[in-house]
Amino acid sequence: MPKETLSKIGIDIEDEKIAIDLEKTKDFFTNIQQHIENTAQNIGEGIKDGSLDMSENIGVTLDDKKIEIDMKQTKNFMESIGLKIEHFLDSLEHSFSELKPKK
C-alpha cells in the first residue's frame, strides 16, 4: 500500500518507525462506516418500496412482482470485486513486509 494511502488512514512510516494518528484513523473508519450505513439504508429503502435496480452494476433488478438476474453481468461484477480484494490484500502484504526489521 502506498505511503499516501496509509497516511490517509493516519499511519506514517519513516525510518523503521510507525506513527499512528488516532484521530485520522478514527475519522477514516467513521467515514467508511457512514458510507456503508448510507448504502445499506438506500438498498433497504429500495427493497421496501420495490424499486431496487442494480442492473447497471451487478445485473440484478428487483421490483414488487419479479426479480431479474443477468448471470453474465453478475459474474463480471463478482470477478471484479474478487480482483479488487486480491489487489488490496497484496498491497497490505507488501506494506507489512516493508515493516519487518531489516538485517
pLDDT tens digits for range 26-56? 888 888 888 888 878 877 777 677 666 665 6
For residue 46, count other CB atoms closer than 10 A to its CB.
Answer: 15
Grid cell, residue 82, equals 474478487
Task: Please give the residue range of the domain that contains residue 44.
Answer: 3-99
Higher-pLDDT residue of 20, 98: 20
Residues 52-87 have pLDDT tens digits of 666 567 777 766 677 778 888 888 878 888 888 888
Average pLDDT over residues 12-24: 85
Residue 52 confidence (pLDDT): 62
What's CA 40's distance to the chain center, in Å?
Answer: 14
Report d(CA 34, CA 50) in Å as an integer. 24
Average pLDDT over residues 5-25: 84
Report the number of distinct structural domains present in the chain. 1
What pTM was computed for the model? 0.46
